[in-house]
Structure 1
Amino acid sequence: MRHSVHRELRRLLAACLLTSLPALAAELTIAQVAPFSGPLTPTGTHLRAGAQLYFDAVNAAGGIHGNKLKLQSRDDGYKATETVKQVRELLREGQPLALFGIVGTGNVEAILKEKVLDEAGIPLVTVRTGASTVVKSGNPWLFATRASYAAEIDKIVQQYETIGYRRFAVFYQNDPFGLDGLASAEASIRKANGELVAKAGYEKNTTEVAAAVKAIVAAGPQAVIMVSNTAASAEFVRQSRAAGNLAQFVALSVTDGPQVAEKIGKEVAKGLAITQVVPDPSGRSVPLIREIQENFAKFRPQDVTLNHTLVEGYLGAKILGEGLRRAGPNPTRKKLRDALEQIRDYDVGGQYVSYSASNRVGTDYVDITILNKEGKLLR
């Protein structure tokens, strides 16, 4: 009898000790599949670095509801079939709470077509595409954190139409990304009563642009809208200038201006205009940028620069973080999805983000920058 009483007392004491201890913090895994090899390596690397910078800052401050954030990344080489394969493997092996930062229109389209998000019931926050096929897909698990390509192209056409440009050409990647941009450009130019004098493409994952250069030079446009990635954009500008094309070149935000200048030389790249979907990373007037600059100095990411792509990664991660805060201390994929969908006029630092059941594009920020003779971007 005495032994049973002692056992019961020990059990009660152990239970009291357990209930008095603080709950152990969980580690919330966020999975990213992006190009960390091939021509878009800098894009995947900087997008990941921006997200990791935000996670480092949050974790150093105690996490979100005490939960630490972990970013798990895999390489898809910018190949859509590999994107689907790698995402499915991560979903099986790592049980992530959310997906983050998939790069490429065709890559995201493949995820949607294969119903990966719907089957797993998992949110995808931040995609490096603004294609209408993605942002207007209506998928309830998708949360874009950049303006659409249509909005970028409208900004370009409006800007140059106001100074008298009427003759436009389009240089595009021959895949879903480029074809979506081409369709948007055709619509914008038509709406502005302009003329599309030439359109010419190149194949994805190449810089084989000679035929496009020849076709566009022959048409004599005043401005060329470039729906192309950094490597192809650089080669197109280099060959076009060598061929005597003096048109104004304007690339979408997926082209990194300073990298173009590094590839082809500052003098050749000078004057290239590029749309941006996040504020200038070197400025000090925007609170979000000051926050990023301070964290960049504090946590010192290796082998990356503080560029627009890194800012895009940080912004997307911060929006994801706000969703986690609203989802509570024990988030599930569905709780996170529902919390993100309820975000209205959230101030990320001088920029406002809103979602709803019918709106999966959280921000519409678009600006136009231009490379100067030092290879730096100016507004």
Structure 2
Amino acid sequence: MRIASFHRSVVLGLILMIGVTGPVAAEDIVIGQVAPFTGTLAPTGIGVRTGIEAYLARVNADGGIHKQRVRLVTRDDAYQIDKTLEQTRALLAEQHPVALIGFVGTGNTLALNRDGLLEKAGIALVGVRSGASALRRPVPPTIFHTRASYAAEVRRVVSQMHSMGLKRVAVFHQDDPFGQDGLAAARTALADAGITLVATGAYAKGSTEVSEAVRTIHAADPNGVIMVSNTAASAAFVKQLREAGSYALLIALSVTTGPQVADKIGTALAHGLGVVQVVPDPASEAVPISRELGEDLRRIGVKAPANHTMLEGYLMARVLVEAMRRSERVDRPSILATLEHMGRFDAGGLTIRYSPSDHDGAEYTDISILDRNGHLLR
């Protein structure tokens, strides 16, 4: 009996040991995002997150990275600067991500950069929903962009207006570093093109109080307006300016999502609004990255059509995953070093370039126009 009991104990011990020391699933590779998932910019944060998750679904279905799944953890900052700092600190301390991705907002990311939080953590941030020059020069050691600068977007708008013979242009902008960056770029580009800046109008960040800006700009009677504004404020501005009787050509920078403007104010008022795009047409079957986004959205059960914001998130994830695949180890120092010397990367029909002296990433710009049905046309 004692021998039998001993035997059973040994067998039980071996079973327990096998359970402990046998094959165990590798821990997930964690990447983190802090962005607005509530508040006025919630659609932007959610759209970027959806694009990231769509690409990670593809990666994980193909075996992950070195047989490890990649998992996105997120924190909501509601587009508030203090919360961006607070939530980033908490995410780094509690989730220990190997990289960050998909942050939203110029002022929010500037505060993060000036705080030195990313450098102290030695962690890369790939993809920021901002084209501000202050986040590009001098080159931030830990931030890697995946979109063209606001200056490049503004130059594209001014070039379009110049080709149409417009001579009197106003600028509507957010009253913060994002808006000031766009306004400065507009002053330079308009002067270079010989176009008169007839008025400027601002609104407070996080608000849709645009009535004063509408009055000032409408009184100046411009034949074109450059809009350095987010979707909610853009919608309010277009509605009020059109209702005031203006027929000026309106073109917004890429932080405005055109179809959402049409949803908010109706297709009749939104018709003709131009929007700069920093990624290709997400509905295009001819562009690999767009076609694959559509496939992967269906993979994760997203029924809504792909949009430019989702494609931005998808691109961010694609770039970060490529860096992780190229890295000697999937850790913060290796990912940073790999991004720094990544060189040219074809992200599926859109080229990304990084070097120690340039983290701008992409140069792509285009302009879409809202049609009578609220759909974007090239």
User: TM class, shorter-chain normalised?
Assistant: over 0.9
CA contact 1:103–1:129 (8 Å) conserved in 2? yes
Q: Report how many aligned residue pairs link the two structures.
A: 362
Shift of 1:203: 0.5
Distance 2:142 2:252 in 1: 29
Equivalent residue, structure 2, for 1:290: 291
Equivalent residue, structure 2, for 1:262: 263
Equivalent residue, structure 2, for 1:111: 112
Equivalent residue, structure 1, for 2:46: 45
Q: 1:249 is paired with a residue of what secondary structure?
A: strand
Shift of 1:345: 2.0
CA contact 1:157–1:189 (8 Å) conserved in 2? yes
CA contact 2:274–2:367 (8 Å) conserved in 1? yes
Residues 134-145 of structure 1 aligned to structure 2 (within 5 Å): 134-145=135-146
**Cα shift readout 1:318-360 (whole Å, capped 9, x = no counterpart):** 00000000013x3110100111122222111111111000101
Distance 2:376 2:302 in 1: 22
Unaligned 5+ residue runs, structure 2?
Answer: 1-17
Equivalent residue, structure 1, for 2:277: 276
CA contact 2:54–2:296 (8 Å) conserved in 1? yes
Residues 128-207 of structure 1 aligned to structure 2 (within 5 Å): 128-207=129-208
RMSD: 1.8
Equivalent residue, structure 1, for 2:340: 341
Equivalent residue, structure 2, for 1:357: 356
Distance 1:224 1:22 in 2: 62
TM score, norm. by length of structure 1 = 0.93
Q: Please state if 1:213 is matched with 2:220.
A: no
Equivalent residue, structure 2, for 1:373: 372
Distance 1:245 1:131 in 2: 29
Q: Please state if 1:86 is matched with 2:125.
A: no
Distance 1:172 1:305 in 2: 29
- AA matched with 1:199: T
Q: 1:354 is paired with a residue of what secondary structure?
A: strand
Equivalent residue, structure 1, for 2:4: none
Q: 1:360 is paired with a residue of what secondary structure?
A: strand
Equivalent residue, structure 1, for 2:323: 323
Equivalent residue, structure 2, for 1:72: 73
Distance 2:324 2:119 in 1: 20
- AA matched with 1:211: E
- AA matched with 1:210: S
CA contact 2:29–2:68 (8 Å) conserved in 1? yes
Equivalent residue, structure 1, for 2:5: none
Shift of 1:120: 0.5
Distance change >3 Å, CA 21–CA 344, structure 1 → 2: farther
Unaligned 5+ residue runs, structure 1?
Answer: 1-16
Distance 1:27 1:174 in 2: 41
- AA matched with 2:52: A
Shift of 1:236: 0.3
CA contact 1:26–1:66 (8 Å) conserved in 2? no
CA contact 1:98–1:122 (8 Å) conserved in 2? yes
Q: Post-superposition, which runs of at least 4 consecutive aligned residues in structure 1 deviate over 6 A?
A: 20-23
Shift of 1:365: 0.5
CA contact 1:199–1:216 (8 Å) conserved in 2? yes
CA contact 1:343–1:353 (8 Å) conserved in 2? no
Equivalent residue, structure 2, for 1:29: 30
Distance 2:258 2:121 in 1: 37
Q: Please state if 1:307 is matched with 2:307.
A: yes
